[in-house]
Structure 1
Amino acid sequence: MAGISQMVERVGGAIAFEVIDHMPPWLSPAPTVLFHHGIGARSACWDGWTPALAGRHRLVRFDMRGHGASPLPAGFRLSLSALVDDVLAVADATDTDRFHLVGESTGGTVALALAARLPERVLTVTVSNGAHRGGSIRNLEPWRRIIREEGMAAWSAYMMDQRFFEGALTREMRRWYETQQAGADPDAVLGVAAMLVAVDLLPELDRVTCPVLLLHPDSSPFIPVETMAELKRALPDARLQVIAHARHGLPFSHAAECAAAVAGFIDGTSCAEQP
């Protein structure tokens, strides 16, 4: 479900974003939910979340650098700090002072880093199949060889089995996801992966003061459930929900279930009433 597509100019290239706002104009401004996808995805991967959230929240989503309509300029150095700044640039461009932040995979790591750095900007955080310690991420070794020797289409085909169990998607959904994933910039994919492996947010997590929901698949080949259990213990206010028979593509394959969980989480927090 498309919104109003826009671009915000950034050092190192523009970021494409869109706003979905179905709230009647006579009601009070709705809280904003800002979405950050992970490696190989793009903002449209959140379409399945829109029905559960758009009637009560303003939704903002964007394409990470090197994905979708956000280019990765040659020589640009991808870093966690740069990705945090991109989120803030999108928030500022949409006049969003405080927001609920939902991140999947890489987006989850960025969300935690942002909430630790600027807790006053974040109402709640939802991390779906994300990690706080790069050293805990598994099975990234084949990526560089596949991409460099066989190309992005081969990497995308390989990744589909890592993301989804057989039968988790319709044929049309699977074809769409595999095609758009193959269109990601290879330097962005490998650059973000290298950045993630070096991350360790554990010393900063006590600064994440807002409520946090951890959504995690029971069968991610990259991030074990034990890593999420460690993350839950390290956060001041966190809850963990493990979703059965799901792999690393959890937010896409289980969109309705995840969106319902996030809607309930947001509505159930004391922060939900704040603009």
Structure 2
Amino acid sequence: MPTIDVNGTTLAYDDRGPRDGVPVLLSHSLFFDRRMFTALAERLGEDLRVVAYDHRGQGESAPAPLEELSMDVLTEDAAALIRALGLAPAHVVGNSMGGFVALRLAARHPDLVRTVTALGSSAEEEHQLAAFAPLVEHLQAHGAADVVDTVLHIMFGDTTLAGEPELCAHWREVIAGLPPAIGDAAHQVIHRERIVEELAGTTVPVLAVAGAEDHAYPQPISGRTIAQATGGREVTVAGAGHSVALEQPDEVAGHLARLFAEHLAPAAT
């Protein structure tokens, strides 16, 4: 597992495919890590350079205090990683929290990105703040072990919960082992600012992918609202909840392949 020092932190990442391939950066959800993209990365094709990384304070990247876990800081981490690895302009794909980062890259660093895909994400402030706040406080005090079933319900759709026992069991074990520090990351997620207005006029092609069974950000939040804010497109994936890239990697890979094929030339700087 390689690591790299960027923007005052150390990020762990996987780098697969030819170094001269078209770059793709994968940015993961809260409660997960870069391994949530294992199946998707395998389906993206051997001619792409696919980099999946762990956000600071999560996975195998360096820990960080609450004030360094904002979406703004995570966005600058991603921008620094793209520069340090020579990925620009990259196709950036983010699920949930990773989508918050991807959309901010489109708004603030259009020179670094070729396209942006936000899966199960949002460009708005947290619409379930009152419901999620007690869960976040519990996470900060105790970690995720005794609320793991609640987290799984948020992160997976009904089809996955009922029909993918091995997948759910694996991530149940991972999430149950998360320490109280995950609560700080969750705090910053639910207290993020909206960027709908900031996205207006972006020149970056944006695809919003909504899960039809998303318990956290259902349509129009994860689809139509993002597409309208960016002038992009939106699709809804059946049989997927909040973790679209993990739950339906085949369909997501198909949507990404079509998007990437439409935007082969580097973005104008």
Fold-level similarity (TM above 0.5): yes
Give, in angstroms, the shift of residue 252 of structure 1. Answer: 0.9
Between the aligned partners of 2:97 and 2:257, the Cα distance in structure 1 is: 21
Between the aligned partners of 2:216 and 2:48, the Cα distance in structure 1 is: 31
1:69-148 to structure 2, matched below 5 A, reads: 69-74=60-65, 76-137=67-128, 139-148=131-140
Between the aligned partners of 1:149 and 1:109, the Cα distance in structure 2 is: 25
Residue 20 in structure 1 maps to residue 16 in structure 2: yes
Residue 231 in structure 1 maps to residue 223 in structure 2: no
User: 8 Å contact 1:124–1:211 — kept in the other structure?
Assistant: yes
Corresponding letter in the other structure for 1:257: E
Give the one of 182, 191, 214 matched to 2:176: 182
Runs of at least 5 residues in structure 1 that lack an aligned partner in the other structure: none
Give, in angstroms, the shift of residue 180 of structure 1. Answer: 1.9
1:27-42 to structure 2, matched below 5 A, reads: 29-42=20-33
Corresponding letter in the other structure for 1:35: L
1:134 partner SS: coil
Give, in angstroms, the shift of residue 230 of structure 1. Answer: 2.0
Corresponding letter in the other structure for 1:242: T
User: 8 Å contact 2:26–2:53 — kept in the other structure?
Assistant: yes
User: 8 Å contact 2:156–2:214 — kept in the other structure?
Assistant: no
Give the one of 147, 160, 164 matched to 2:152: 160
Match for residue 185 of structure 2? 191
Number of paired residues?
A: 263
Residues 166 and 130 of structure 1, relative CA distance in 2, 3 Å threshold? closer
Give, in angstroms, the shift of residue 97 of structure 1. Answer: 2.2
Give the one of 5, 11, 14 matched to 1:9: 5
TM-score (norm 1): 0.86
Between the aligned partners of 1:274 and 1:229, the Cα distance in structure 2 is: 26
Give, in angstroms, the shift of residue 167 of structure 1. Answer: 5.4
Corresponding letter in the other structure for 1:244: A
TM-score (norm 2): 0.88
Identity %: 23
Residues 255 and 42 of structure 1, relative CA distance in 2, 3 Å threshold? same
Match for residue 151 of structure 1? 143
Corresponding letter in the other structure for 1:231: I
Match for residue 212 of structure 2? 218
User: 8 Å contact 1:39–1:189 — kept in the other structure?
Assistant: no
Give, in angstroms, the shift of residue 186 of structure 1. Answer: 2.9
User: 8 Å contact 2:11–2:54 — kept in the other structure?
Assistant: yes
Give, in angstroms, the shift of residue 196 of structure 1. Answer: 4.1
Between the aligned partners of 2:64 and 2:141, the Cα distance in structure 1 is: 22
User: 8 Å contact 2:39–2:246 — kept in the other structure?
Assistant: yes
Give me the CA root mean square deviation: 2.3
Between the aligned partners of 1:118 and 1:76, the Cα distance in structure 2 is: 22
